[in-house]
Structure formats: structure tokens, C-alpha cells
Amino acid sequence: MRSTKTIHVISAHAEGEVGDVIVGGVAPPPGETIWEQSRWIARDQSLRNFVLNEPRGGVFRHVNLLVPPKHPEADAAFIIMEPEDTPPMSGSNAICVSTVLLDSGILPMKEPVTEITLEAPGGLVRVRAECRDGKAERILVRNLPSFADRLGAKLEVEGLGTLTVDTAYGGDSFVIVDAPSMGFGLVAEEAHDIARLGVRITKAANTQLGFHHPDNPDWKHFSFCLFAGAVERGEEGLRTGAAVAIQPGKIDRSPTGTALSARMAVLKARGEMGEGEQLTAVSLIGSTFSGRIVGTTRVGDRPAILTEISGRAWITGIHQHMLDPSDPWPEGYRLTDTWGAR
């Protein structure tokens, strides 16, 4: 075999959503902060294309690059590469990264609980891992501050008319629609329709509503559309269905950790969820993330909440992605059958 580059990857998924982790073969990108490094990766595109485009990647794949942390309190840092975005934070990817770090021995595991601090592009996240028999069985992540943006905003979507939506930030930016009122029961058979409709709603929201993070002027768009189920209250707390449409047109297989934080921010703003309460979100494949409001804060001039989200992840394989010098598609390719129109 011959190769002009070899990238070492440990593959994982968190409650169904793929979150591979690059553990070797890539030098840290330039930048004084993890955020600046992530912006370099977003602009440069070469690493994103190599690992996300076919034939090595696909629209279903997220990939995380481990880099040395910049903050003195952080044990490790990671840069998230999603199909279309290089975001500040991702719950499922943080859970995958934590699991890979501990299960592979990159960071030492202490049973029954290991505490680590990760540096995401958007800031520090504190992690508690419940561990047994050499396996990180459940990851609990103190997420970035989350806040409701607009409540009950009107949005025109061609073919749908006027929708009433909420917008919020939970480590990433969301436009949130009520799934039952749109005729969705949030079952697996609806994934195709929800994915394509969600992309249309996200694009409409970016055009008509816009998003601006008070403390991060670089983040000024909506990434996702959350189709939110009704909230039911039971003995174990609150429970809801969730389906997040990810550009260019897929559904998150997990319940989406940042969406869970964003939904809790909206519920808190409406007085429908209080500090200390738990909300469990269920994905289209039946997997779950649980979230709690653990405190309040402010982001710029906005009231915000501090959340803890939890879920499980599993390592699925070890890969070496290589590039033969004669390969005519060194950065891969995309076709609209799965990637959608650009």
C-alpha cells in the first residue's frame, strides 16, 4: 500500500449518531484559541472534505479532531466537523469524544466515576463519566450556556404558509417547530419527510429571522431545525420526542444534545420547566438523552440556563484513512442523491 497521508480514527456512535474521533495523523491547525482553529478548518475545507466526503465519509458522518487544549483547566480539546457546519459544540460528539478518550486509554479511567474537562470550540464543558469494567457506560456533560432567542415568531415557508416557531441556542442554534401541529408523530417512517422539510425551514429562518450569538459574533446562522414533540410529565420527570434535521438533509439518529439544551431553555423561558427538573428526549430510533437545568446565568444581555445532558456511546471500530497519490478524487466527492442540492 502507498499513501501520501494516513489519518488514524476511532469510530463511535452516541445513541445512534456517528461521531468518529481523529486520534492521529493530523497536525493541529493554526490559531491561538480552539475557536480560531475551528474557523481555520471551516475555511480551509481540506480536512473536512477528506473525512466527510465520499468515499471515506457520507452525509451520516460527523468527525471530531482531537487537538491539544488551550485552556489550562482542560484535559483535551476537540473540533467538531458536521456535514455542513463546524460548530461551537455538539452533545452527541462530546459524548463520543469522552467515550473514546476513556475507553481507548488516551485519558486514564477511574471507576466508578471519572471527571474530565473538555475544551470545545465554544468553551469548556465539564464531563462526568460513569465507568465500570473498563467501559465508560454513561457520559454526563455540563453544556455551554443555553438561551431562548425568539418565542412564537412567525415564519413563512413556501408550500406550508405561516409557521409559528421558537428559536434558541443550546451550544448550537435551532429553529424549533411543533411536530404534532405539523402532523408528525415522530416515528422512524417520517425521517425522509422531516429531513427535507427541516432543511427548508432552516433556510427560511436564516433568511427571515436570522440568529446572532451575543458573545460570539462569528456564529450568526441557524444550523438545525428541531421537530419538537409534546412534553409529557411522569414519575421520572418530563419526556418528549425529538427529531433534528441536519443540513444538507438527514435526521440526527440521537435526540441531539444541543437541541435538548435549547428545548429546555425555551421551556424555562415559558415557565414550563424549572431548575432541577429532568427532560428526556427520544429520537426516531428510540434512543434517549436526558437533560437537567442545573443553574442560571446570562449570555450577553440574555437570561440563560446551565444544563447537564447525558447519554451513552460505543466504539465501533478503528480505521486508517489513506490517500493513494493516483486517486483522482483526493478530497472525495458529493452527489445530490444523498447530499442534496448546493
Residue 88 main-chain phi, psi, to 5 deg: -65, -35
Q: Are 56 and 81 spatial neighbours (Cβ–Cβ below 8 Å)? A: no
Catalytic annotation present for 90: yes
Q: Are 134 and 51 spatial neighbours (Cβ–Cβ below 8 Å)? A: no
Tell me which residue of 28, 7, 10, 24 sits closest to 102, measured CA to CA.
10
DSSP state of 8: E
Tell me which residue of 205, 210, 206 sits closest to 177, measured CA to CA.
205
DSSP state of 158: T
CA dihedral 249, 26, 172, 123 (to 10 degrees): 180
Cross-strand partners of 80: 64
| Catalytic residue selected from 11, 90, 98, 283 | 90
DSSP H or E run through 138: strand 135-142
The catalytic residue positions are 90
